Structure 1
């Protein structure tokens, strides 16, 4: 599968909640003492084959999150995919015009 097919396919996501290690503890968390990743994290390297718990454990390890719970895994909808691809196209168009995130304080 080439890069374009990977990007345009409906990708898998995993989300979970994890213990808040902030000092002081954040008061705006929806679940007291826990942060949640409601939008989810994309699974890029075939982690969906591992299952929800194992995929969440890998994602949490990469982000140094501890005490994970409330795990769910899903495939993005066609509407979410289309929005993601439209955003990528906008970013590429801006980059071609010389406008990109690496501009620093030049705006």
Structure 2
């Protein structure tokens, strides 16, 4: 799959909770002592074929998360994909006009 096909396909995401290792422990970590994966992390290298637990282990290792639980894996919806593509197009247009994340404090 080339870059354009990958960008336009509905991508897989994974989410999980992991043990809070902050010191002092975060009071907002719910359930108590655990951080959530939020809206999920994209799987980029075909990890979805490995299954949820194996893919979560790979992602957790990349972010140095420990004691993962409540693993869920899903394919993004058509609406999520369209929103991601719209953001990508806006960022490309901004870069073409010389506006990009590396501007520092210019704005």
> TM (normalized to structure 2)?
0.97
- The within-5 A match list for 1:1-107 is 1-107=1-107
Q: Gaps (5+ residues) in structure 2? A: none
CA drift at 1:30 = 2.4
Mapped to 2, the partners of 1:65 and 1:27 lie a distance apart of 18
CA drift at 1:38 = 2.3
Mapped to 2, the partners of 1:26 and 1:59 lie a distance apart of 22
- Number of positions where the alignment pairs a residue of Structure 1 with one of Structure 2: 107
CA drift at 1:29 = 1.8
Mapped to 1, the partners of 2:81 and 2:22 lie a distance apart of 33
Mapped to 1, the partners of 2:65 and 2:25 lie a distance apart of 15
Mapped to 2, the partners of 1:29 and 1:67 lie a distance apart of 14
Q: Gaps (5+ residues) in structure 1? A: none
